[in-house]
Chains A and B, each alone.
Chain A
Amino acid sequence: MYGYVRPAKGELKVREYELFRGVYCGLCHELARRYGFLSRFLVNYDFTFLAMLLADGTGKQTCPRRCPVHPLRPVRCLGSCSSLSTAADMTVVLGWWKIADSAADTAGAKALAWKLAKFALRRAYQKAAARQSAFAHSVEDNLARLHRLEAERCPSVDETADTFALILRSVAEGEPDRDRRRVLEELLYHLGRIVYILDAADDLAEDTRSGAYNPLRYRFDAGEGKLSAEDEHTLRAGLQLSHNALAGAFALLGENDYSGILSNTVYLGLPAAAQAVFAGTWNKPATLQRERRDL
């Protein structure tokens, strides 16, 4: 997905870092177990965060397991549990739609590669969408709405961000406790907004060069693909307000095994990602590759 939602690694305790690795690798194993080898390529930080956020109980154990990336030295993985399964289902649903998008948006040899990936994962998608039908409908509807807004060159950051925010919000739909669901929905809505807006800010220069749609191009006067100091302040103040809402909801969520990692992600990881995006040092592929190597 995007990769903005992750802990600031240097600030994690060693114990927390190992647990975080365990959840990430656990999600990857869960994907393989439920959807086959190919779906492993969809594993990402955002849904690792969601798996930890949705976890309710405590005392989950990790156990050493081998995988193609770690064939000799086994790594500790979190064993299968309901929040990990849900996160795996949703990873496949959203991942498949993003591949479908890429297949439709690109041209040439790349498009062929995306189409092959889409074809290869279609069974996995059908299975995952049947298991998480409310989430799958939300993704389908909101992505369709996003495409309409893109075609209209919508100048509202809020309205375009609303599509992705609602997708993340629907992750909480299965939560049976009403108050907990309200808290999760508020948290996830603003998380989705922040992720969408950070991605738009990160892509602004590239989109301006290529002429692709980006809500910030129509909301602000971003002539050279860069926001003026005043506009950047306005945008970041808005992000801060969403982050306040997110943090307010997070404070109302009960503790679980992962509270330390989640708190790090909310209070340090997300601000660090925003800092990097606005400093122009985020550089997704390189950063992601480096992080992958570390895990």
Chain B
Amino acid sequence: MNDPYSVLGVSPQATDEEVKRAYRDLARKYHPDNYHDNPLADLASEKMKEINEAYDTITKSREQGGGYSSYGYGGGAAYQTQSGPRQSTAGSNAQYVQIRNLINANNLSQAAAMLNAIPTHDAEWYYLMGSVYWRKGWMDQAGQFFRTAATMEPGNIEYRNAVQYMNQGGQAYRPAGAGDMMGGDMACNMCQNLICADCCCEMMGGNLIPCLGCR
């Protein structure tokens, strides 16, 4: 394994607080939520694992028997994403399950071929076609298919989440002060949602904003 301090980009003389801050920044950057349904998700998850291991190694060696051991994201791979279009297998017929598996395996041409062979187009067909385009990076067409799916079946949460995720411009890591492509309204809405959710969380005894950055 690489030197855990160089993985986190801090010197071995750094204080516990500095190590923790470096770890949080990196964990925010390579968080699985930034890479869901992304062709590079495997590389990001490797990176996340490396960061978690480095942080664990440092905290363990610094606090032998101390109470730090429960930190980390558990390797990233086990982390559940919370929003956006993603593949579940609930309520699908056998053919759709197969197509979802193809999409998850990034076999887009075969998934598209199977979809095109289906004569009747229900809401799930539109959703899956949207997922194929999403993976391909054809964001505009993906959005159109997701919106059709959500209009045909307004009660479906999976479709509605996909549309909402697209409309708010998705989720990504951005350093402080970075611009966006949407003219500021995205950042505002997202902050408002976050602060709202954080207030609710805090009333129930939790704290959402630090949860999102790092536990």
Task: List residues of chain A with CB under 8 Å of any chain B CB.
Answer: 156-159, 162, 165, 179, 182-183, 186, 189-190, 193-194, 219, 233-245, 247-249, 251-252, 263, 267-268, 270-272, 274-275, 278
Instruction: Classify chain B's interface size.
Output: 35 or more
11 residue pairs from A and B, CB less than 8 Å apart? A158-B139, A186-B39, A190-B137, A236-B169, A240-B169, A240-B170, A241-B170, A243-B181, A245-B38, A267-B174, A278-B183
Contacting pair B170 A244 (CB below 8 A): yes
> Which residues on B sit within 8 Å (CB–CB) of A242?
137, 139
Q: Of A159, A234, A248, A267, which contacts B179 at CB under 8 A?
A: A267
Report Cα–Cα, A182/B182, bound state, in Å.
Answer: 27
Supply 11 further A-B pairs (C-beta < 8 A) apart from A235-B140, A241-B139, A245-B38: A182-B39, A182-B40, A183-B43, A233-B185, A237-B167, A242-B139, A244-B34, A247-B172, A248-B38, A270-B181, A271-B180
Give, as a whole number of angstroms, the nearest-CB distance from B190 to chain A: 11
Instruction: Report the Cα distance A27→B44, complex, angstroms.
Output: 33
**What distance in Å separates the Cβ of A248 from its nearest Cβ neighbour in chain B?**
6
In this complex, the member of B47, B171, B179, B183 whose beta carbon has the largest number of chain A beta carbons within 10 angstroms is: B179
Q: Which residues of A contact B40 (CB under 8 A)?
A: 182-183, 186, 248-249, 252
Interface pair B170/A162, CB less than 8 Å apart:
no
Does B35 sit at the interface, judged by CB under 8 A? yes
> Total A-B residue pairs with C-beta atoms closer than 8 Å?
109
Interface of B is mostly: loop
Q: Which chain A positions have C-beta within 8 A of B24?
A: none
B169–A158 touching, CB < 8 Å: no
User: Does B20 reach chain A (CB closer than 8 Å)?
Assistant: no
Q: Are A238 and B137 in contact (CB under 8 A)?
A: no
Tell me how far the C-beta of B148 lies from the nearest C-beta in chain A, rounded to whole angstroms.
Answer: 14
| Least Cβ–Cβ distance between A154 and chain B, in angstroms | 12
Instruction: List B residues 131-185 near A (Cβ within 8 Å).
Output: 133, 137-141, 143, 166-175, 177-183, 185
- Please give the residue numbers on chain B whose beta carbons come within 8 Å of chain A beta carbons, in ascending order: 29-30, 34-35, 38-40, 43-44, 47, 133, 137-141, 143, 166-175, 177-183, 185-186
Residues from chain B with Cβ under 8 Å of A162 in the complex: 138
Chain A: minimal CB distance from B161 (Å) = 15
Q: Which residues of B contact A158 (CB under 8 A)?
A: 133, 138-141
**Bound CA span A247–B183, Å:** 17
Alpha-carbon distance between A258 and B47 when the two chains are bound, in angstroms: 22
CA distance A244 to B133 in the complex (A): 16
Whether the pair A179, B139 counts as a contact (CB closer than 8 A) is no
CB-based nearest A residue for B167: A237
Looking at the complex, which one of B141, B172, B177, B185 makes contact with A243 (CB distance below 8 Å)? B172
Contact at B169–A275, with CB atoms within 8 Å?
A: no
Q: What A residues does B140 contact at CB under 8 A? A: 156-158, 219, 234-235, 238
For the complex, what is the distance from the CA of A157 to the CA of B140, rounded to whole Å? 7
Contact residues in A for B141 (Cβ distance below 8 Å): 156, 158
Cβ distance A200 to chain B, nearest Cβ, rounded Å: 11
Given A236-B181, A275-B179: A244 in contact with B43 (beta carbons within 8 A):
no
Determine how close the nearest CB of chain B comes to the CB of A141; give it in whole angstroms: 18
Specify which of B43, B139, B171, B178 is in contact with A252 (CB 8 Å cutoff): B43
What's the least CB distance linking B124 to chain A, in Å?
Answer: 22
B38, B168, B178: the one contacting A267 at CB < 8 Å is: B178
Q: Report which of A179, A240, A245 forms a contact with B137, defined as CB distance below 8 A.
A: A245
> Closest residue of chain B to A158, judged by CB?
B138
Closest to A240 in B: B169
Chain B residues closer than 8 Å to A156, beta-carbon distance: 140-141
Cα–Cα, bound, A182→B209 (Å): 33
